Structure 1
């Protein structure tokens, strides 16, 4: 959770998954952000397989979260996927630009 200068307000755990999925609802992601008056969020999750390449589900939830964020006025700045010793930033991949699944 970030303030208007993109300084960290807090880090919160929203969901715990199993070996191949972590069901998440935008309501849960933004509940604490709204409560703390966050201006933006960065989403992060791990892939237990160790491969940080985004899945189709990762891209879909990213777009759902961005859409929900626009409704409540909280920007999703990035979605980080953590693997073994590496990560993928969807912003760096161009996915966060303009609402498409480009660059992956």
Structure 2
């Protein structure tokens, strides 16, 4: 994902044993933004009976530092996941051969 020229937002679907059962493209955005709606993130998780998800998107700039918008949408998605019973385990932002894990940074 580090070579993509637009932001791509994907969701990795996991079962109750944290094994990957699927991955779906949620949206393709612009050079520096991606429009993400909780409905679109959790739709494949509900369809495939996922127990939890990992959110992944890239920053074409190469800098994986979370933007204020990244922090805000992650909070919204975590809350939506709590409501429907599908836990957000992490949100990973991929940059130029580097990444940031919200879980590692204590942001989730």
Are 2:51 and 1:39 aligned?
A: yes
Match of 2:65, SS?
coil
Q: 1:6-85 counterparts in 2 under 5 A? A: 6-85=18-97
TM-score, normalising length: structure 1 = 0.91
User: For structure 2, which runs of at least 5 residues remain unmatched after alignment?
Assistant: 1-12
Query: Higher relative contact order by CA 8 Å / sep ≥ 6: 1 or 2?
Result: 2
Structure with greater proportional strand content: 2
Give the Cα separation in 2 of the matches to 1:36 and 1:72: 14
User: For structure 1, which runs of at least 5 residues remain unmatched after alignment?
Assistant: 97-104
| Residue correspondences, number | 96
Deviation per CA, 1:61-93, whole angstroms, max 9, x where unpaired?
Answer: 000000000011000000000000100000000
Deviation per CA, 1:28-78, whole angstroms, max 9, x where unpaired?
Answer: 000010011100000000001000000000000000000000011000000
**Deviation above 2 Å: which 4+ runs of structure 1?**
none
State the Cα RMSD in Å.
0.4
TM-score, normalising length: structure 2 = 0.88
